[in-house]
Protein backbone atom coordinates (compact mmCIF):
# COMPACT_ATOMS: atom_id res chain seq x y z
CA UNK A 1 0.00 0.00 0.00
CA UNK A 2 1.33 3.38 -0.85
CA UNK A 3 -0.08 6.81 -0.89
CA UNK A 4 -3.47 7.78 -2.15
CA UNK A 5 -3.73 10.61 -4.58
CA UNK A 6 -6.24 13.34 -3.95
CA UNK A 7 -7.14 16.65 -5.49
CA UNK A 8 -7.37 17.98 -1.95
CA UNK A 9 -4.49 19.97 -0.60
CA UNK A 10 -4.00 21.41 2.87
CA UNK A 11 -5.83 24.70 3.39
CA UNK A 12 -2.68 26.29 4.80
CA UNK A 13 -0.97 26.20 1.39
CA UNK A 14 -3.02 29.07 -0.01
CA UNK A 15 -3.75 30.80 3.29
CA UNK A 16 -4.64 34.49 2.92
CA UNK A 17 -3.65 36.01 6.26
CA UNK A 18 -5.06 39.42 5.36
CA UNK A 19 -8.51 38.01 4.65
CA UNK A 20 -8.59 35.91 7.83
CA UNK A 21 -11.01 37.61 10.23
CA UNK A 22 -9.15 36.60 13.43
CA UNK A 23 -6.07 38.60 14.37
CA UNK A 24 -3.41 37.80 17.00
CA UNK A 25 -3.03 41.44 18.09
CA UNK A 26 -6.65 41.88 19.23
CA UNK A 27 -7.73 41.33 22.83
CA UNK A 28 -11.09 39.66 22.20
CA UNK A 29 -12.12 40.02 25.85
CA UNK A 30 -11.79 43.81 25.51
CA UNK A 31 -13.17 43.85 21.95
CA UNK A 32 -15.63 40.96 21.65
CA UNK A 33 -17.44 42.77 18.85
CA UNK A 34 -14.49 41.89 16.57
CA UNK A 35 -14.94 38.15 17.13
CA UNK A 36 -16.59 36.05 14.44
CA UNK A 37 -17.91 32.54 15.06
CA UNK A 38 -16.69 31.19 11.72
CA UNK A 39 -16.63 27.51 10.78
CA UNK A 40 -15.48 24.76 13.06
CA UNK A 41 -12.27 25.64 14.86
CA UNK A 42 -11.34 28.81 12.99
CA UNK A 43 -9.47 31.34 15.11
CA UNK A 44 -8.91 28.94 18.00
CA UNK A 45 -5.12 29.28 17.97
CA UNK A 46 -5.19 33.05 17.52
CA UNK A 47 -7.83 34.72 19.71
CA UNK A 48 -6.32 36.06 22.90
CA UNK A 49 -6.66 36.03 25.84
CA UNK A 50 -8.74 32.88 25.36
CA UNK A 51 -5.99 30.99 23.55
CA UNK A 52 -3.79 31.39 26.63
CA UNK A 53 -6.58 30.75 29.14
CA UNK A 54 -7.86 27.58 27.47
CA UNK A 55 -4.96 26.28 25.38
CA UNK A 56 -2.76 25.49 28.36
CA UNK A 57 -5.23 22.74 29.34
CA UNK A 58 -5.61 21.23 25.84
CA UNK A 59 -4.04 17.74 25.75
CA UNK A 60 -5.01 14.47 24.05
CA UNK A 61 -2.05 12.10 24.30
CA UNK A 62 -4.03 9.35 26.07
CA UNK A 63 -7.63 8.69 27.06
CA UNK A 64 -6.94 9.65 30.68
CA UNK A 65 -5.18 12.86 29.69
CA UNK A 66 -8.06 13.66 27.32
CA UNK A 67 -10.58 13.12 30.14
CA UNK A 68 -8.75 15.53 32.41
CA UNK A 69 -8.23 18.06 29.62
CA UNK A 70 -11.75 17.98 28.22
CA UNK A 71 -13.27 18.20 31.71
CA UNK A 72 -11.21 21.29 32.54
CA UNK A 73 -12.05 22.93 29.21
CA UNK A 74 -15.73 22.12 29.70
CA UNK A 75 -15.56 23.72 33.17
CA UNK A 76 -14.15 26.84 31.52
CA UNK A 77 -16.95 26.68 28.94
CA UNK A 78 -19.55 26.68 31.73
CA UNK A 79 -17.71 29.46 33.55
CA UNK A 80 -17.73 31.64 30.44
CA UNK A 81 -21.45 30.98 30.02
CA UNK A 82 -22.07 31.96 33.63
CA UNK A 83 -20.17 35.21 32.96
CA UNK A 84 -22.25 35.71 29.77
CA UNK A 85 -18.97 35.68 27.84
CA UNK A 86 -20.00 34.17 24.51
CA UNK A 87 -16.55 34.53 22.94
CA UNK A 88 -14.93 32.55 25.76
CA UNK A 89 -17.63 29.89 25.60
CA UNK A 90 -17.28 29.58 21.83
CA UNK A 91 -13.51 29.35 22.08
CA UNK A 92 -13.80 26.63 24.74
CA UNK A 93 -16.23 24.78 22.45
CA UNK A 94 -13.69 25.10 19.64
CA UNK A 95 -10.93 23.63 21.81
CA UNK A 96 -13.17 20.67 22.59
CA UNK A 97 -13.87 20.22 18.88
CA UNK A 98 -10.18 20.55 18.07
CA UNK A 99 -9.37 17.93 20.71
CA UNK A 100 -11.60 15.56 18.78
CA UNK A 101 -10.31 16.43 15.31
CA UNK A 102 -6.62 16.41 16.21
CA UNK A 103 -6.83 13.17 18.18
CA UNK A 104 -8.74 11.62 15.25
CA UNK A 105 -6.00 12.74 12.87
CA UNK A 106 -3.39 10.97 15.01
CA UNK A 107 -5.68 7.94 15.17
CA UNK A 108 -6.05 7.92 11.40
CA UNK A 109 -2.55 8.88 10.26
CA UNK A 110 0.87 7.90 11.60
CA UNK A 111 2.37 10.90 13.35
CA UNK A 112 -0.77 12.92 12.65
CA UNK A 113 0.46 13.73 9.16
CA UNK A 114 -2.35 13.73 6.61
CA UNK A 115 -0.41 15.05 3.61
CA UNK A 116 2.96 14.16 2.11
CA UNK A 117 4.68 17.51 1.63
CA UNK A 118 7.50 15.81 -0.29
CA UNK A 119 5.05 14.40 -2.86
CA UNK A 120 2.98 17.41 -3.93
CA UNK A 121 0.90 17.13 -0.74
CA UNK A 122 -0.64 13.81 -1.73
CA UNK A 123 -3.04 12.43 0.85
CA UNK A 124 -1.30 9.78 2.92
CA UNK A 125 -2.67 6.34 3.67
CA UNK A 126 -5.34 6.26 6.36
CA UNK A 127 -5.42 3.66 9.12
CA UNK A 128 -1.79 3.90 10.16
CA UNK A 129 -2.31 5.83 13.40
CA UNK A 130 -2.61 5.07 17.09
CA UNK A 131 -5.60 3.39 18.78
CA UNK A 132 -5.12 5.33 22.02
CA UNK A 133 -5.71 8.55 20.07
CA UNK A 134 -9.06 7.17 18.88
CA UNK A 135 -10.05 6.72 22.52
CA UNK A 136 -8.92 10.27 23.33
CA UNK A 137 -10.93 11.53 20.36
CA UNK A 138 -14.08 9.86 21.70
CA UNK A 139 -13.61 11.61 25.06
CA UNK A 140 -13.33 15.01 23.39
CA UNK A 141 -16.22 14.28 21.02
CA UNK A 142 -18.57 13.65 23.94
CA UNK A 143 -17.61 16.91 25.70
CA UNK A 144 -17.77 18.86 22.44
CA UNK A 145 -21.29 17.61 21.73
CA UNK A 146 -22.28 18.29 25.35
CA UNK A 147 -21.14 21.90 24.90
CA UNK A 148 -22.91 22.29 21.57
CA UNK A 149 -26.18 20.98 23.01
CA UNK A 150 -26.11 23.43 25.92
CA UNK A 151 -29.28 25.52 25.48
CA UNK A 152 -27.79 28.76 26.83
CA UNK A 153 -24.82 28.42 24.49
CA UNK A 154 -27.07 27.64 21.51
CA UNK A 155 -29.17 30.75 22.17
CA UNK A 156 -26.12 32.95 22.64
CA UNK A 157 -24.53 31.61 19.45
CA UNK A 158 -27.67 32.22 17.40
CA UNK A 159 -28.00 35.77 18.74
CA UNK A 160 -24.28 36.45 18.16
CA UNK A 161 -24.36 35.21 14.58
CA UNK A 162 -27.48 37.26 13.84
CA UNK A 163 -26.02 40.42 15.35
CA UNK A 164 -22.28 40.19 14.64
CA UNK A 165 -21.47 37.18 12.50
pLDDT at 75 over 90: yes
Nearest to 40 by CA among 83, 2, 94, 114: 94
| pLDDT range class, residue 5, cuts 50, 70, 90 | very low
Handedness of CA 123, 125, 129, 134 (dihedral sign): positive
User: If we measure between CA atoms, which residue out of 21, 53, 18, 15 comes closest to residue 35?
Assistant: 21
Domain spans in the chain, listed from the N-terminal domain onward: 21-163
Tell me the C-alpha to C-alpha distance, in Å, between residue 22 and each of 35, 71, 107, 122, 161. Answer: 7, 26, 29, 29, 15
Q: What is the pLDDT of residue 163?
A: 94
Task: Choose the weakest-confidence range: 7-11, 105-109, 159-163.
Answer: 7-11
User: Cα(79)–Cα(73) distance, rounded to whole angstroms?
Assistant: 10
Pick the more confident residue, 21 or 71: 71
Q: What is the pLDDT of residue 77?
A: 98
Interhelix angle for 86-108 vs 151-163, to 10°? 110
In the predicted structure, residue 118 carries a pLDDT above the cut 90: no
Amino acid sequence: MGQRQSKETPSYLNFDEGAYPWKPDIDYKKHPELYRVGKGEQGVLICEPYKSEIGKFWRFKTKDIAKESSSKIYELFLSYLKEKDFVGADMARKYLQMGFTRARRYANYKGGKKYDKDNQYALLEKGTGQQEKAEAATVFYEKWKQAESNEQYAQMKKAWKNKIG
